[in-house]
Each structure stands twice: as C-alpha cells, then as structure tokens.
Chain A
Amino acid sequence: MELNSSQKIAQLTDLYRQAATQSTTTLRDEIVGKIYQTSQELSEKSVNYDKRKTTWLDKNLDQILTSKTFGFPIMLLMLGIVIYLTIAGANYPGVAIANLFSVVEGWLTSLFEWMHAPDWLYGILIEGFYKGTSWVVTVMLPPMAIFFPMFALLENFGYLPRVAFNLDRFFKQSGAHGKQSLTMTMGFGCNAAAIMSSRIVESPRERMIAILTNNFVPCNGRWPTLILLAGLFMAAGFSGGMNTFISAGVVVGIVLFGIAMTLFVSWSLSKTLLRGVPSHYTLELPPYRKPKIWNTIIRATLDKSVFVLKRAVVVAAPASIITWILANINIGDTSILQHFVGFLDPFAQSLGLDGFILGAFILGFPANEIVLPILLMGYLATGSLVDVDSMNNIKDVFLAHGWTWLTALNMMLFSLLHYPCGTTMLNIWKETKSIKWTFAAFAIPTGIAIITTFIIAQVVRAFGLV
C-alpha cells in the first residue's frame, strides 16, 4: 500500500530517531577511516609511483616562497615587479592609442564640418561621447592588457594560496578569515567579482568582514588613476626608467597602505559590529603547475580588452554625454556643472582636493574607470584652453587648475579608500541581502577616505609643505 507524503515523513522521522540511538560517536571516524583505507588499497593496486621523477622544484619551492627569510620579500618583489612592468609596458601602447584616437577625432571633426552639423550635436557626440569613451580606452586598456596576463600567470601557477598562507597570521590577529587574502587578491582584478568570491569564506561574520573591506584593494578601474597620478606628480623630478621606478614604488606604497587599512578595518569590525572569534579554518596549498604561458597571456589579454571596451561603451558613453550636457547647459550665466562643482568646492578643498575632483568621484559612481575622464572633461569644459592630444598634456591641465603633489596624493588616496562602485554595491546587496550592511559598505570606506585625506591635507598645509 502506498503511503501518503505525511505518513512518509512520519516514518522517516521515526527512522531518523531510531538511527540516532544506534549511532555512536566514533561512527563518523569509522566511516571516514574506512573510506580512506579503501581508497588507499584500491590505488595501491592500480597506481605506480616513480619517486625519482619528482622534481626538486615540486618539493622545495615552498621552502623558498613561504620561508621565514624570503617569504615576505618575495611577495613584495612580485607585487613590485608586476606594477613596474605594468607601468613600463603601458606607456607606449598608451601613447599609440591616444594618437590613433586623435587622428580619428580629426576625421570626425571634418566630417561634422562638412555636414554642417549643429554645434550641440558635435559637442555631445565628439566632445562628450567620443572623447569620453576614447579616454577610458586609452587610459584603461594598456595597463589592463599587461596587468591581467601577469596576474593570471601567478594565479595559474598557484602562488595565490601561498600569499594567503604567508599573510594568514595578520588576518587571524585582525579577527578575520585567512581566505580573505584570496578574496583580496581577486579585488585587484575587480571588486565586484571579488565580492562574489568571498563565498569561499564560510563563516558569515568573516565573510561580511571580507565584503566590507574588499574595496581597499584597488581594482582595475582604479589602477590607471593611481599609475597616471604617481607618474605625473610623485615621480615628477625624474625621467625615463627612474620615473617608472619611482612611480611603481609609490603605487606599491599605496597598495600596502590599502592592505594595512584592510587589516585595521577588519580588526575594528571584529571588535565592534562584527564581534566574534575567528572560525575554524583550513587552507589547501595546491601543487605548483606550470601555466600554459601563451594561452594564458592571450586569453587574459583578450578577455580583459573585451571587458574594458564593453565597459567603455556601456558606462563611459552615457556618463560622458551627461557630463558634457551638465558642462554646457547654463543656469544663469554658469553651467550646471559649475554650480555643482562650486557647491562641492569648499568641502573638497578641506580634503586637499577640489570641487571638480569630488564631483568626478560622485559622477563616477557607476564605474571607477570614468572618474579620470570625467575630471578631464570637467576641467576642459570650463574654459582652460589646453589641448589634450597626448597624455603629457594632461599634467598641464591639472597644473592650470592649481594641482600640487598634495592634490595628486589625496586623489590617489581618495580613489583607494572611497565607496565601492555601483556594480560592486549591487553585488554587495545581492550577497548580503541587507540594506544595513550595504549601507555600511558604502559609509565605512567613504568615512575613512574623508578622514584620511582631511588629516593629510591639514597636516601638510600646517607645516607649509605645499
């Protein structure tokens, strides 16, 4: 006779209870022990090991890469090399792409003149849409096309878990999970994706910490800002190779500051809002594997290029158009953008920034990639007649608006520390399903960004350093 579903549930519950009385505490040990024993017996018969073939590297690489003496220096060196190569390598294609875009711009301009297109149309399409998107591509593409393949090589080689192994002690002391450093390294690529990867942290408390602090790692949208400003202002007195070297040093410093901030905020959170002890934790260190070098490079380069181009069109295009419109529609005798910027300016000045910069961060909320292009458009739309044909002229634009090294430093820090981009916020909401925590993910970094830049600006000015 067939049972109905509630009878079945009742029976099952009975069985569960009955089985529970039969269960012994060592039963699990027995089961697992037996399975392993069986695995061992089975593989003894069909697997044969030739011990001579295990290479020296397989056995000893970890004794170097995670050693007491070399573990940290090597990690720092790797970071330095990756950043150095990114800066050094991005220079030339950057210039080439910029030139290409300006040639095309010339053609388009002639075309518009020939068609007798109205000024506003030219403004929106060329000065807004075309310039904005082409800047995003020019600034973003070269560093990404170099950074990502290198990162993918390290990832496929198996180095990332070693970073987690090395840094674990710091995370433990901050009350955080050791796998947070894995989500952190993912953040170098994209914070939005890193938020998803924080699922590898199982305890909800520690996952929340990983989510709330992830944006202290600069993502691909922010690297170029850091690199550009470091090169233009921090390493200004140097040229050629030395310039690259110093820029790389500054960017490494910024990254380390971000990591320190991650640890500090993790620690504060686990002492306050997210109190608790570190949960149990195991980390597997997979064997090193030689990546398929060319495959990885080509794949990572293409994937990222497509990604950047897509972002450029989807996010940068509308943002550029809006910025152009704001800069060109007047209320009274000044543009909306001017009103907006003027309103922000006093506060921004106290942070060592200016109204344009803060405005660019606000308008750049959808994606960090567009902050710098929006800033440039804002500057250019307001009367300064500098022609930005090549990257070198960018500095003149900044100088014309009263930039000093303090402005550059604080913009870098603000970029590093401020709220996550729109996509990341969306993912945070999806992962936490909580308005409160999503808001915290916005408020905590923003507060820290404001406090940090404020202190630095005040101290630097008080000592008359600028």
Chain B
Amino acid sequence: MQQTMDQFQVGDQIRITKLELDGVMRRRLLDLGFVPGVIVTVFQKSPLGDPIAYQVFQTIIALRKEESSLIYGEKINEEVCIHE
C-alpha cells in the first residue's frame, strides 16, 4: 500500500514509488538516492518527531516532514526483507 514517507515506522523498509516534488529539491533528492524503485529504511525519528532520518544507499539522510510527505513509497513485506 502506498503511503508518504513520513507515515512509516522506524525500521520499516520502503520501496520508493514516486516523488511529488519539482525543481531543485526533486533533483537534489534524486542525487541523494531517493530514486523511484530504490529501497530505503526508516532509521530514526528525532526527539520531537520531525525530522526523520532515512537510510538510503548506506547513508543516513534526515528530511523534514515538508519533504518526506511528498515522497511516496510502499512497505516491503517480511519475506522480501529476509531475501535481502
């Protein structure tokens, strides 16, 4: 099921489906590895809940809700996880 990135729980593995952003920020997120099809892990929420840090291509990147709520993804189920 498709959700925005800020709605997942810490530890969830997510396959990115689409980015609803344009312009520089879209390109910057792409450069960071937030590319449709890529799998990212929700790494940690900051003490006040926002921003949230994601692990993407072996790097941890924190995004504010403003951005993460515009990135869509779907949670990968357990079997895929084990397979990974």
Contact = CB atoms under 8 A, between A and B. Distances in A.
Interface string A167-184: 011101000001000000
A335 interface: no
Nearest to A25: B22
Interface of B: 24-33, 35-38, 43-51, 53, 57, 59-64, 66-67
Given A63-B44, A71-B46, A169-B50, A280 B28 contact: yes
B51 A62 contact: no
B29 A282 contact: yes
Contacts of A67: 47
A169 B36 CA distance: 28
A282 B57 contact: no
A281 B64 CA distance: 7
Interface string A52-69: 000000000011001110
A281 B35 contact: no
Nearest to A33: B35
A328 interface: no
A430 B8 CA distance: 44
A285 B60 CA distance: 5
Given A66-B46, A165-B46, 18 more contacts: A29-B35, A32-B30, A32-B31, A33-B36, A36-B35, A62-B53, A165-B62, A168-B62, A170-B48, A178-B51, A178-B62, A281-B51, A281-B63, A282-B29, A282-B61, A282-B62, A282-B63, A285-B61
Nearest to A173: B48
Contacts of B30: 28-29, 32-33
Contacts of B28: 280, 282
13 contacts: A29-B35, A32-B30, A33-B30, A36-B35, A36-B38, A63-B44, A72-B47, A166-B47, A280-B67, A282-B67, A283-B51, A284-B59, A285-B53
A170 B50 CA distance: 10
Given A29-B30, A32-B35, A278-B66, A284 B50 contact: no
A68 B25 contact: no
B48 to A, nearest CB: 4
Interface string A276-299: 001011111111000000000000
Contact of B44 (A66, A169, A172, A178): A66
Nearest to B25: A280
A157 to B, nearest CB: 15
Contacts of B33: 36
Interface in A139-181: 165-166, 168-170, 172, 178
